[in-house]
């Protein structure tokens, strides 16, 4: 008799939703290494240089004990200057930072209004939050304001938080940031902006889509270091008082072993490379435009960013097309619920400086062959 775990796995398999780890193979249209830094000589050199000057691999404890290292503090200081914020706090992963932020800052008697397509890490944080939670339709700033206004009618005190992504990880579309910050200003709210997929590739010097908003006292942004920056970890950019509050109240920060000082040194190097990578960002934009031209000829909507979904609907169809593309030598993964809404299983194509236009041409030719008339 199979165990309940085996039964759950069998149920996932019947629905075409069983996941398994796969190796790297084929032309990479899957990773978030948008600027090609993850395997670059530049970051390898930064690691070697840091090791040569004695930076340790491990931290040895939480940062409130023995784990706080000068590399952590140097990274946070340099990141705050680079992004234009008062202060920064470094976490071991983007998931941990996002979940920690949302479970810590909103207090009992507060409100969190969040976009319907917010990342799973934010939802994990919401599950641990003591505040009231309201979901708003995707990129619907008007509804966000309506929700806040209605909540305020019954809650004279308490603070409102608006949780969004600047560039959405599965749809590749962009939030109306200026509309949201205007709402935050009108209602004394704080805007929590996940810049994970904008960091490094959008905004001046790759400082993100919310770069023009950084430094305000009602903005908190998250910049992951494991995507365009090619390293790992995440930086929360925020007013200094909120950083001090997180250090004192955020359990995932207080009780976790500190991130590797060696990785902090690597991220410091990545930020310097990022600041000087306008040519790489221009090359990436050219790849995005090339793919968009293909999509226009196919009658499909283009996201206009380095993340392009191809919505196929059925779970099994997405899996079968991804498998066919893998056999052709292309690494494009199927994304299924619960990562995306029911009925919107898709292929998620990501572009990077690693691609030539010929790679995109070849992928789209094979995609058309496998799925036929996508616009129907």
What residues are annotated to the active site?
A: 32, 119, 165, 169, 194, 197, 227
Nearest to 140 by CA among 173, 110, 111: 173
Nearest to 72 by CA among 275, 272, 268, 274: 268
Nearest to 234 by CA among 124, 90, 104: 90
Contact at 8 Å (CB) between 128 and 157? no
- Tell me how far apart the alpha carbons of residues 115 and 137 are, in angstroms, rounded to a whole number: 6
- Tell me how far apart the alpha carbons of residues 135 and 321 are, in angstroms, rounded to a whole number: 33
**How many Cα atoms sit within 13 Å of 273 on the Cβ side?**
23
- Measured over all CA atoms, what is the biggest interatomic distance in the chain, rounded to whole angstroms? 60
Contact at 8 Å (CB) between 310 and 347? yes
Contact at 8 Å (CB) between 93 and 252? no
DSSP at 174: B
**Lookup: tokens for 337:** 């619920």
**Letter string b/e over residues 188-217, b meaning 16 or more CB atoms within 10 A of that residue's CB:** ebbbbbbbbbbbbbbbebbbbbbbebbebe
β-strands 111-115, 160-165 pairing = parallel
β-strands 132-136, 160-165 pairing = unpaired
- Tell me how far apart the alpha carbons of residues 84 and 216 are, in angstroms, rounded to a whole number: 9
Contact at 8 Å (CB) between 244 and 216? no
Contact at 8 Å (CB) between 193 and 207? no
Residue 40 to residues 46, 266, 315: CA-CA distances in angstroms?
Answer: 10, 12, 35
């Amino acid at each position: 008799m199979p165990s309940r775990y085996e039964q759950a796995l069998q149920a996932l398999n019947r629905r075409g939703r069983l996941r398994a780890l796969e190796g790297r193979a084929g032309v990479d249209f899957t990773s978030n290494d948008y600027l090609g830094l993850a395997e670059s000589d530049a970051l390898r050199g930064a690691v070697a240089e840091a090791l040569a000057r004695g930076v340790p691999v491990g931290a040895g404890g939480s940062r409130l004990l023995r784990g706080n290292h000068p590399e952590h503090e140097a990274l946070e200081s340099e990141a705050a200057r680079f992004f234009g914020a008062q202060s920064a706090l470094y976490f071991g992963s983007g998931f941990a930072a996002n979940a920690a932020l949302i479970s810590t800052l909103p207090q009992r008697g507060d409100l969190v209004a969040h976009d319907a397509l917010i990342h799973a890490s934010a939802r994990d944080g919401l599950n641990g939050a003591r505040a009231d939670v309201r979901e708003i339709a995707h990129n619907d700033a008007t509804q966000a304001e309506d929700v806040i206004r209605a909540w305020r009618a019954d809650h004279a005190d308490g603070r409102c938080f608006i949780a969004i992504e600047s560039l959405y990880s599965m749809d590749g579309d962009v939030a109306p940031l200026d509309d949201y910050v205007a709402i935050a200003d009108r209602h004394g709210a704080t805007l929590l902006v996940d810049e994970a997929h904008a960091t490094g590739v959008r905004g001046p010097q790759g400082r993100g889509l919310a770069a023009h908003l950084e430094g305000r006292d009602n903005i908190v942004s998250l910049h992951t270091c494991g995507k365009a920056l090619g390293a790992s970890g995440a930086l929360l950019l925020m007013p200094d008082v909120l950083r001090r509050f997180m250090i004192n109240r955020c359990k995932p920060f207080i009780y976790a072993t500190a991130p590797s000082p060696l990785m902090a040194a690597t991220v410091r190097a990545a930020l310097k490379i990022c600041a000087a990578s306008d040519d790489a960002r221009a090359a990436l934009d050219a790849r995005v435009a090339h793919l968009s031209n293909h999509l226009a000829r196919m009658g499909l909507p283009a996201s206009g960013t380095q993340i392009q979904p191809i919505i196929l609907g059925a779970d099994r169809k997405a899996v079968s097309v991804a498998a066919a593309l893998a056999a052709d030598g292309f690494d494009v993964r199927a994304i299924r619920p619960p990562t995306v809404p029911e009925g919107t299983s898709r292929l998620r194509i990501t572009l990077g400086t690693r691609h030539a236009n010929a790679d995109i041409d070849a992928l789209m030719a094979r995609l058309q062959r496998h799925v036929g008339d996508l616009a129907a």
